[in-house]
Structure 1
Amino acid sequence: MVNTTNHRTAYDDDAAARGGALGLGRPRGPDFLPGASAPPAAPPPGAGVGPAPAAPVAAPRRGRVLLTAALVAAVVGGGAGVAGARLGAEPQRAAPVALPRSTAGPVTVPGGLSGIAAQVLPSVVSVETGGGNGSGFVIDATGHILTNAHVVDGRTQVSVVFDDGRRASAEVVGSDETNDLAVLAVRDATALTPAVLGRSADVAVGDQVLAIGSPLGLQGTVTSGIVSAVDREVPFGGSGAGLTALQTDASINPGNSGGPLVNARGEVIGVNTAILSRRGGGSIGIGFAIPIDRAADVAERIIRN
Structure 2
Amino acid sequence: MRRLTVLLALFLLLTAAGATVREGARASGVTDAPPDPPEAPEAAAEVRVWQDIADAAAIYVSARRARGRWSDAGTRPLPLDDGHSASGNYRYGDIALAGVHVRVWQHVAEERTLYISARLAGTPWGAFGTAPLALDDGHSTSGRHRYGDIAIPDPPPAACRLEDSAQAVIAATVKAETADRIGSAFYIGNGEFVTAAHLLDGDPDEITLRNEHVDTTAVVVGRVRREDGDIAILAAEAPGLTALAWGGEVREGVRVMVAGYPLGQGERASLAAGIVSRVFTDEAGVRQLQTDAPTNAGNSGGPLVDACGRVVGVASWKFVQDNRGAATDGLAFFIAEPSLGAALQRIRAGR
Per the normalisation by structure 1, the TM-score is 0.56
SS at match of 1:139: strand
Identical counterparts, % of pairs: 36
Residue of structure 2 in register with 1:215 after alignment: 262
Larger Rg: 1
Shift of 1:299: 1.7
Residue of structure 2 in register with 1:173 after alignment: 221
User: Cα deviations across residues 70-108 of structure 1 (Å, max 9, x unaligned)?
Assistant: xxxxxxxxxxxxxxxxxxxxxxxxxxxxxxxxxxxxxx9
CA distance in 2, matches of 1:281, 1:183: 35
Does the alignment pair 1:130 with 2:173?
no
How many positions carry a matched residue from both structures?
A: 188
User: Which ranges of structure 1 fall in alignment gaps of 5 or more residues?
Assistant: 1-107, 236-240
- Structure 1 or 2: larger helix share? 1
SS at match of 2:347: helix
CA distance in 2, matches of 1:252, 1:158: 25
CA distance in 1, matches of 2:165, 2:328: 23
Tell me if structure 2 keeps the 8 A contact 1:214–1:256: yes
| Alpha-carbon distance change, 263 to 294 in structure 1, aligned in 2, over 3 angstroms | same
Tell me if structure 2 keeps the 8 A contact 1:158–1:172: no
User: Cα deviations across residues 238-293 of structure 1 (Å, max 9, x unaligned)?
Assistant: xxx46331111011110110100000111000001111221679760111110043
CA distance in 2, matches of 1:214, 1:282: 21
CA distance in 1, matches of 2:277, 2:235: 33
Residue of structure 1 in register with 2:318 after alignment: 275
CA distance in 1, matches of 2:198, 2:183: 9
CA distance in 2, matches of 1:189, 1:204: 32
CA distance in 2, matches of 1:221, 1:119: 12
Tell me if structure 2 keeps the 8 A contact 1:245–1:288: yes
Which of 1 and 2 has higher RCO (CA within 8 Å, sep 6+)? 1
Tell me if structure 2 keeps the 8 A contact 1:124–1:135: yes
Does the alignment pair 1:231 with 2:280?
yes
Query: Aligned match of 1:204 in 228, 247, 251?
Result: 251
- Structure 1 or 2: larger strand share? 2
Query: Aligned match of 2:305 in 262, 277, 281?
Result: 262
CA distance in 1, matches of 2:242, 2:123: 24
Q: Which amino acid aligns with 2:294?
A: S
